[in-house]
Amino acid sequence: RSGFVAIVGRPNVGKSTFMNYVIGQKIAIMSNVPQTTRNKIRGIYTTDEEQIIFIDTPGIHKAHNKLGDYMVQSSLSTLNEVDAIMFMVAANEERGAGDNFIIEHLKQVNKPVYLIINKIDLINPNKMLEIMDTYKDALDWKEVVPISATQGNNVSELMDTLSKQL
Ligand code: GDP
Ligand code: MG
């Protein structure tokens, strides 16, 4: 089985760290595509059973000009071509306008969206339900998955979950 998974989320939530962790674990390819490329394949996760191609989708933030508008549209069309979407947030940061902007756009995309709550190593586990609650009704999440991309907590479970979507 193989398929495409897009990762979206505001800056600094840990998208690149996650990708490096996953790709570093299993033999894979990191592309050298320059940052200027709008939608790029960043890494391919491969096991005997599956291949997941992760796509960084950086363009979904409030546009200030025509080019920005174009980037948003371009990112959205990428999201329409993948098998699943990971929307990543950071457990230690409040839900903000940047998150809401992306969520509003995800509503227009008819794909399974996984809410990935990253950086769980930075919070008290007692806070987890409260954090989940702030996002619960924002979108019809396929699943909510807490992880730590630096520690690797729950990442293999996430890969198993994503594989089912391929
Ligand atoms: P991106 O902008 O979404 O790609 O975010 P990065 O992957 O560049 O991460 C931003 C910062 O958050 C870096 O300093 C990472 O080391 C840190 N970071 C990412 N994931 C985790 C995590 O699970 N736990 C902790 N403590 N820090 C993290
Ligand atoms: Mg990054």
Domains of the chain: 2-163 (3.40.50.300)
ipTM rounded to 2 decimals:
0.99
Q: Are strands 143-146 and 51-56 parallel, antiparallel or unpaired?
A: unpaired
Percent of the chain with pLDDT over 90: 58
Could you tell me the pTM of the whole model?
0.90
> Among all chains, which residue has been given the structure tokens 């979206």?
8
Q: How confident is the model at residue 166 (pLDDT cuts 50, 70, 90)?
A: confident
Q: How far is the CA of 83 from the centre of ligand 1 (A)?
A: 25
Ligand of minimum distance to the alpha carbon of 40 = 2
- pLDDT tens digits along 55-108: 888 778 888 888 888 888 888 888 999 999 999 999 999 999 999 999 999 999
Residues with CB under 6 A from ligand 1: 9, 11-17, 118-119, 121-122, 148-150
- CA–CA distance from 126 to each of 24, 41, 131, 138, 149 (Å)? 30, 36, 10, 22, 20
Q: How confident is the model at residue 144 (pLDDT cuts 50, 70, 90)?
A: very high
Average pLDDT, the chain: 87
